Structure 1
Amino acid sequence: MDESVERLIESALREDIGSGDLTSLYFVPEERRATAFVVAREAGVFSGGELGLEVLHRVDPAIQASLLVADGDRIAEGAYLMKLEGPARSILTAERTMLNFMQRMSGVASATRQYVDAVRGTNTQILDTRKTIPGWRLLDKRAVLDGGGTNHRMGLYDRVMVKDNHLMAASDPVVLQTAIKRLKEEHPQVEVELEADRLEQVQIFLGLEGVNYILLDNMSLTDLAQAVKMRGEATTPLLEASGGVTLKTVAGIAATGVDFISVGAITHSVKAMDLALDFTRSE
């Protein structure tokens, strides 16, 4: 498990438990054992199961838990997702933090799957963005994969994206080509993406060497289709559509022939899935 995720789990547990779970300490007998299930209150796509298991283990290794479905599985309302057995106090202490991780990740996975389903039958892939909760990026992007989406760059370090604000400082094609050449020499493994909001820019960027992607920002369907036509039979650069994409518009965008559609909403505006912990027996 990545160190940043381990730190996030530890921080979440400290935030919730603090100096101790007083409710369980005073109202649940120490010797009481229990069996419980995580249950889906709505249909969707499950994600975060391994994180849930890790939370339980860190709270109390005596909790025995097993996943009944796998991350990425479609689940129906009422589905049993995880079985837990062990000290009732410990299960109750871990409950909220465990569910928080799984609800958030399942929400992202479910939203992603809706977009993926909407473009099914095309060659277009759904991308995430960097619009994630600070500290949660790895988990948000893991959930996108569980939902059938594709990860965009992880951060500023693993792909160059020259956006409109960068172009304000340097938009001359000669300057751009020089910068791309220097980058490729010093970081040959890093891909380059240039943002265009006009077809005139697309034409210029298609003439540059070393460009792996062109981001077509807030273009009309007509302009998106024209950009695809301008690329012709070439396989690169790949074309990514972006800007205000919704479930109502994503299929039409995919029909233009773009390779990718990036959707910020699948991470920045997602609704957590309704999951619950139901106790079935105590001893």
Structure 2
Amino acid sequence: MIEPLPDLLIAPIVRAALAEDLGRAGDVTSQACVPADARLRAVFVSRKAGVISGLACARLAIAELDSSADFRPAVEDGTRVGPGQNLAWVDANARALLAAERTGLNLLGRLSGVASLTRAYVEAVEGSGAAIVDTRKTTPGLRALEKYAVRCGGGVNHRFGLDDAILIKDNHIAACGSVGEAVRRAKAAAGHLMKVEVEIDGLGQLEEALKYGPDVVMLDNFSLADLAEAVRRAAGRAMLEASGGVSLETARAIAETGVDVISVGALTHSANVLDIGLDAA
């Protein structure tokens, strides 16, 4: 079971999405066609196979407009489902449910798409010992939700932002003058709980980086042969992360070089929305 995000983190995102959709006058279609006291019972249904994430988003979208709504999940986040499978039942004020429908589906479909793609990558490297991790290439405003969806798919979260880990990239190195000097400065500044990672783009930088004791070395766009050689040379002195242009077709071969983690920006920037509908019951 995936530990759910607190409603406190999700609710502001849901409210902003509802406000964008409701605009200045609210759902004028439902107001015109549906009696104010009408109730509607409906079910969220998967149209395609995938992994579910974001049920709380659908629940909170409805609850924002009808606090007495009855929302009953049929599955948990992280569950693999098939086409036509019921995900959750809801009984609510009809106007509220119709107004919240698209916001709930947008978030549920988006997060389930991320979880589904993540699961595909995790299964591609299964048994290799390598973890699939995400990046900061997330939709602005949705990072906490999308990284939660990665966990629902069996992946592991990289840093959440600029403030929770030090990651020295090529432009930091250019500003410092060398890989070694950048890592030295970072290690001197880091607190005892702060990890230090450095990105390198060739084997020639590996020994210089390791000399200063980084926790993680990112091997950016290395060939398979160079990844394997980096694993041999590092000999466990730092965790090794493969990054750059990873696809479902290449993930397994990358994992088999012996790297510890594989970071995949596509998990969040290129996931297709999982097709989910809301059907009156």
Partner of 1:218: 221
Q: Structure 1 vs Structure 2: percent identity of aligned residues?
A: 44
One-letter identity of the residue aligned with 1:145: R
Q: Check 1:192–1:73 CA distance in 2 against 1; reply closer, same or farther (3 A cut).
A: same
Whether contact under 8 Å (1:34, 1:86) holds in the other structure is: yes
1:151-166 to 2 correspondence within 5 Å? 151-166=157-172
CA RMSD of aligned residues (A): 1.3
Q: What's the secondary structure of 1:117's corresponding residue?
A: helix
Q: What's the TM-score, normalizing by structure 2?
A: 0.94
* Deviations 1:96-132, CA, capped at 9 Å, x for gaps: 0011110000000000000000000110000000000
Whether contact under 8 Å (2:42, 2:278) holds in the other structure is: yes
> Which of 188, 192, 197 pairs up with 2:196?
192
Bigger Cα displacement from structure 2, 109-118 vs 54-63 = 54-63
Partner of 2:245: 244
Whether contact under 8 Å (2:146, 2:268) holds in the other structure is: yes
Aligned counterparts of 2:98 and 2:200: Cα–Cα separation in 1: 52
Aligned counterparts of 1:42 and 1:23: Cα–Cα separation in 2: 29
* Deviations 1:225-257, CA, capped at 9 Å, x for gaps: 00000012x3x4100000011000000000001
Partner of 1:230: 233
Whether contact under 8 Å (1:194, 1:213) holds in the other structure is: yes
Q: Check 1:173–1:92 CA distance in 2 against 1; reply closer, same or farther (3 A cut).
A: closer
Partner of 1:205: 209
Whether contact under 8 Å (2:38, 2:95) holds in the other structure is: yes
Aligned counterparts of 1:157 and 1:112: Cα–Cα separation in 2: 25
Partner of 1:119: 125
Partner of 2:16: 11
Aligned counterparts of 1:183 and 1:261: Cα–Cα separation in 2: 27
Aligned counterparts of 2:263 and 2:255: Cα–Cα separation in 1: 11
Aligned counterparts of 1:92 and 1:227: Cα–Cα separation in 2: 55
Whether contact under 8 Å (2:113, 2:272) holds in the other structure is: yes
One-letter identity of the residue aligned with 2:234: R
Whether contact under 8 Å (2:215, 2:239) holds in the other structure is: yes
Bigger Cα displacement from structure 2, 25-34 vs 172-181 = 172-181
Q: What's the TM-score, normalizing by structure 1?
A: 0.94
Whether contact under 8 Å (1:63, 1:90) holds in the other structure is: no
Q: Check 1:4–1:32 CA distance in 2 against 1; reply closer, same or farther (3 A cut).
A: closer
Whether contact under 8 Å (1:199, 1:223) holds in the other structure is: yes
Residue 68 (structure 2) pairs with residue 67 (structure 1): no
* Deviations 1:195-229, CA, capped at 9 Å, x for gaps: 011001112112212x1000000000000000000
One-letter identity of the residue aligned with 2:279: D
One-letter identity of the residue aligned with 1:201: Q
Aligned counterparts of 2:212 and 2:166: Cα–Cα separation in 1: 15
Residue 26 (structure 2) pairs with residue 20 (structure 1): yes
Whether contact under 8 Å (1:56, 1:94) holds in the other structure is: yes
1:138-177 to 2 correspondence within 5 Å? 138-172=144-178, 175-177=181-183
One-letter identity of the residue aligned with 2:97: I
Bigger Cα displacement from structure 2, 5-14 vs 255-264 = 5-14
Aligned counterparts of 2:29 and 2:7: Cα–Cα separation in 1: 32
Partner of 2:50: 44
Aligned counterparts of 1:177 and 1:14: Cα–Cα separation in 2: 45
Whether contact under 8 Å (1:47, 1:106) holds in the other structure is: yes
Q: Check 1:75–1:173 CA distance in 2 against 1; reply closer, same or farther (3 A cut).
A: closer
Residue-pair matches, total:
275
Aligned counterparts of 2:85 and 2:98: Cα–Cα separation in 1: 21
Q: What's the secondary structure of 2:193's corresponding residue?
A: coil
Whether contact under 8 Å (2:71, 2:88) holds in the other structure is: yes
One-letter identity of the residue aligned with 2:10: V
Query: Structure 2: which 5+ residue stretches go unaligned?
Result: 1-5
